[in-house]
A and B are shown apart, each in its own frame.
Chain A
Amino acid sequence: MVEEQEERLLNGDEATAWAAYHVEPDVVAAYPITPQTIIVERFSEFVADGLVRTEFVSVESEHSAMSACVGAAAAGGRAFTATAANGLQLMNEILYIASSLRLPIVMAVANRAVSGPINIHCDHTDAMNVRDAGWVMLFCEDAQEVYDTVIQAFKIAENPNVLLPVIVSFDGFLISHTAQKVKVFKDPSVVREKFLGGPRKPAKIKLMGQEVELSLNPKNPVPVTFGPLDLYDYYFEHKRQQSLAMQNAYNVVKEVHEEYARLSGRRYGDGVTVPYKLDDAEIAVVAMGSAPGTMRYVIDEMREEGIKIGLLRLRLFRPFPYRDIMEKLKHVKVVGVFDRAQDQGMMGGPLFIETRAALYELESRPKVVNYVFGLGGRDTPPEMFREAFDELVGISKGTVKPFIRKYLGVRE
């Protein structure tokens, strides 16, 4: 049964703060950075107004923010933080620690270009720089999806078969600062009690023949130590466990998405990918973040002209849904992959490389080309995508010579 909800005008940051309010984490430790600042501002207001009992820790850096979350989560608490760009880079070493200690921390990232030159606007370079840190990564299209996904993220992270931290990404300014209609649950207990089942319950593990809580709980019959030295005789085994957890996350993302949909009435594809007019498509575009919204207008326009073009939006980026990509794009002739991130010394943007690698498994493969676009907040109007989509049509007809990658929207 769909639960009662109310409409509010919220931007992506506010939607994140509302999700955190409804989850009521035990600890929020955060340091403000544009374009994520509003999350921390709003949430601290919720704390000050007594709407949540969360321990709000104002730290002196993002490195400390993530460290505080590690401590809180290791103690068995539900921990949340938010950051962007250089803040995320400063956290980097602790990100790996959080994932290896299997701490289900949730972090919102308002995607922003990484300095330098200094730029506060949207691109995905910040998130792409931490794509190998062992975090589950979800990319949202709009503020409504941000609210829904932040709530889902806690349930994904805390699943005993996953126990990995989760990043919820959304485009800086384009989503973080754009207010829109967002439906939020009227009663926070729908989120806290009904969906999340009350306070976090740390997983149980066997230790020296006894069942203990995987947390620094002093009531454990056998003490649990987090973060000791782990050398060549065991480190690899622990990493292998993380790989399995990441693999498990794929199904859990789908299950949690479905379970949440029953409460909210909202779905984003199957929770992993969101296809649009792909079934009979000859040309497909692949993208993440807010750009797919704009792209759908262009696709509709081209469909009206009789061009068979469709879109595959990836909502889940880690674990990378390579099987979905193979399955959903196996029938198309040309695939254009749109990376809102730099391709420094690589064959193309990260999304392109992995999409192309996934399609290599197919017996008969489509042509796959890459567009790097929108760096540092460069505007992404429909006309710009139209130009690229027309080029993809040209490749499918043989009138345009295929290429590896292009930079879309840069001045020559």
Chain B
Amino acid sequence: MPKKDFVEIRIHGRGGQGAWTASIILAEAALVEGKYSQSFPEFGPERSGAPVTAYARIGPSRIDIHAGITNPDYVIVIDPTLVHMATKGIKENGKIIATSAKSVEELRNELKLSDGIELWVVDGVKIAMETIGRAIANTAMLGAFVKATDGKIISLDSLIQATKNVLGPRLSEEAVNKNIEAIKRAYEEVKKG
């Protein structure tokens, strides 16, 4: 019997910033923990630089639902210019984990968030520039996500392992390590508001 005991996650980024890859890492991290997961991109053609969306579902039992995610529990924003898209359809007690140079308070006011929604902010782009050397904040924001969810969806260790599993075959060991550094820094630096 299917159980609706999974959480739904939406990731906003721009083509080329690794939003889909971030959702794959999340799903892989669930696998590392022996959980079940789904990861899928916004179905359709991707264009470099255009706003893109990726999704993930994670839960302790089989996930048989095959439909889009319209009311996510969590929204992760990996490009600061797309933060205004975060609120669309989010659950009343949902969480937004966004990259921004702005303070949590500033962003909270700007987005006019209702009280139930938690906002977590970290300058993922700055962290990415300082660690990876490119403005690709996908892995950093996953670190922030783990902090914001208190490691209950996936743990930091699982995230790091999953990052190695997914990026290992694609990048050099050095580049993978820099991504892990970005994850750890964002995990430490992210602030709640």
Contacts and interface: CB of A to CB of B under 8 A. Distances in A.
A210 interface: no
Contact of A181 (B36, B45, B67): B36
A382 interface: yes
B125 interface: no
Given A7-B31, A381-B70, A293 B39 contact: no
Interface in A125-152: 141-142
Contact of A9 (B37, B43, B64, B65): B37
A171 B66 contact: yes
Given A9-B28, A296-B2, A297-B4, A178 B38 contact: yes
A294 interface: yes
B63 interface: yes
B24 interface: yes
Interface string B39-53: 111011100000000
A7 B36 CA distance: 11
A178 B4 contact: no
Contacts of A55: none
Interface residues of B, number: 23
Contacts of A171: 66
B138 to A, nearest CB: 16
Interface string A283-323: 00000001101101100100000000000000000000000
A296 B36 contact: no
Nearest to B1: A300
B43 A121 contact: yes
A377 B67 CA distance: 10
Interface string B1-23: 11010000000000000000000
A379 B67 contact: yes
Contacts of A70: none
A190 interface: no
Contacts of B44: 120-121, 173
Nearest to A35: B43
Contacts of A11: 39-40
Interface string A381-399: 1100000000000000000
A208 B45 CA distance: 56
B27 interface: yes
Contacts of B116: none
Given A9-B28, A179-B27, A297 B64 contact: yes
Interface of B: 1-2, 4, 24, 27-28, 31, 36-41, 43-45, 63-68, 70
15 contacts: A9-B31, A121-B44, A174-B40, A174-B67, A178-B40, A179-B27, A179-B38, A180-B63, A291-B66, A293-B65, A300-B1, A377-B43, A379-B67, A382-B65, A382-B67
Going nearest first, the 7 A-B pairs with the smallest beta carbon separation are A293-B64, A290-B66, A173-B43, A178-B40, A179-B39, A379-B68, A381-B67
Interface of A: 7-9, 11, 34, 120-121, 141-142, 171, 173-175, 177-181, 290-291, 293-294, 296-297, 300, 377, 379-382
